[in-house]
């Protein structure tokens, strides 16, 4: 089985971290085909960054389909271009936010999400509501660090993430924590052991879910909204006639 994991931003070091997490989660015999966004922002921090990343993301998915990918993981917690990606892909496409929230709702009755910058909080709050998790998610918190600072200043990242986790446990009564950024992937095990509650990494959750769906033979439905995009060349010829 081949799982295509696309990091929509252009930071190769983050792709390596994501790929390591996906390979650690994957079953024996599963090939992780990890890819970095081409010509995209170095991090995804807002709606403009998302929009700029989507064309390259869709192109990467089409290339991966041609290489024989059985499923795809979009490794950005904003789940950019998820619906569009499902239009162009045959195999299942999993966003790490949706996957992480599904796991959180399964293993806890209440949880909090911890992300990077405060500007990401409303974006994630909207996703939580759209995925039907608002009744379980007690709060979306931010450590107030840019995405790229997670790797540049790991000591501060750990300290802030742990402090925010303690606040989530004390103030939100959170029973689990969802990491709201793919750049936090390598902090998951450490934080879970240190805090003493489950910490959910979306890359791990999405990789396992992608494996399960592809292994069961499920494909993206083409019966309605996720149908392949129409070829409009015939319309243009007809209009010109």
Q: Secondary structure of the chain in the HEC alphabet? A: CEEEEEECCCCHHHHHHHHHHHHHHCCCCCEEEEEECCCCCCCCCCHHHHHHHHHHHHHHHHHHHHCCCCEEEECCCCCCCHHHHHHHCCCCEEEHHHHHHHHHHHHCCCEEEEECCCCHHHHHHHHHHHCCCCCCEEEEEECCCCCCHHHHCHHHHHHHHHHHHHHHHHHCCCCEEEECCHHHHHHHHHHHHHHCCCEEEHHHHHHHHHHHHHHCCCCCCCCCCCCCCCCCHHHHHHHHC
Rg (CA), the chain: 18
Q: What pLDDT is attached to residue 200? A: 98
pLDDT at 168: 98
Do 60 and 142 lie in one domain? The reply is no
On whether both 16 and 89 belong to a single domain, the answer is yes
Contact 89, 65 (CB under 8 A): yes
CATH number at residue 148: 3.40.50.12500
User: Quick one: 80 and 150 in the same domain?
Assistant: no
| In-domain check, residue 238 | no
Residues 47 and 128 in one domain: no
- Predicted local confidence at residue 231, as pLDDT: 84
User: In the numeric block, which tokens belong to residue 134?
Assistant: 């608002």
Q: What pLDDT is attached to residue 151?
A: 84
Q: Do 111 and 84 belong together in one domain?
A: no
The per-residue pLDDT for 232 is 78
- Would you state the pLDDT for residue 46? 93
pLDDT of residue 152: 87
Same domain, 101 and 139: yes
Domain of residue 156, residue span: 97-202
Same domain? 197 vs 102: yes
166: which residues sit within 8 A by CB, 6+ positions away?
Answer: 195
Q: Are residues 39 and 107 in the same domain?
A: no
Whole-model pTM: value is 0.94
* 209 shares its domain with 173: no
240 belongs to a structural domain: no
User: Residue 56 falls within a domain, yes or no?
Assistant: yes
Per residue of the chain (241 residues), what is the pLDDT tens digit? 999 999 999 999 999 999 999 999 999 999 999 999 999 999 999 999 999 999 999 999 999 999 999 999 999 999 999 999 999 999 999 999 999 999 999 999 999 999 999 999 999 999 999 999 999 999 999 999 999 888 888 899 999 999 999 999 999 999 999 999 998 999 999 999 999 999 999 999 999 999 999 999 999 999 999 999 988 776 656 565 5
Tell me whether residue 10 is in a domain: yes
Tally of domains in the chain: 2
């Amino acid at each position: 089985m081949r799982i295509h994991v696309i990091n929509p931003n252009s930071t190769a070091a983050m792709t390596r971290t994501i790929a390591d997490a996906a390979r650690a989660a994957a079953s024996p015999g599963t090939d992780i085909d990890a890819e970095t966004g081409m010509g995209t922002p170095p991090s995804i921090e807002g709606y403009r960054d998302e929009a700029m990343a989507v064309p390259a993301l869709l192109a990467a998915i089409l290339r991966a389909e041609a290489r024989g990918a059985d499923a795809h993981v979009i490794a950005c917690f904003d789940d950019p271009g998820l619906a569009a990606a499902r239009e162009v892909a045959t195999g299942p496409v999993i966003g790490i936010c949706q996957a992480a929230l599904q796991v959180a709702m399964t293993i806890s009755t209440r949880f909090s999400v911890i992300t990077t910058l405060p500007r990401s909080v409303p974006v994630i709050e909207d996703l939580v509501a759209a995925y039907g998790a608002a009744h379980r998610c007690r709060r979306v918190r931010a450590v107030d660090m840019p995405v790229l600072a997670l790797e540049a200043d790991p000591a501060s990242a750990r300290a802030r993430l742990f402090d925010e986790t303690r606040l989530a446990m004390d103030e939100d009564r959170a029973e689990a924590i969802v990491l709201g950024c793919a750049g936090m992937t390598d902090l998951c095990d450490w934080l879970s052991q240190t805090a003493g509650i489950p910490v959910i990494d979306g890359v791990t959750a999405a990789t396992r879910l992608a494996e399960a769906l592809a292994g069961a033979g499920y494909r993206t439905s083409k019966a309605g909204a996720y149908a392949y995009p129409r070829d409009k060349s015939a319309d243009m010829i007809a209009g010109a006639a």
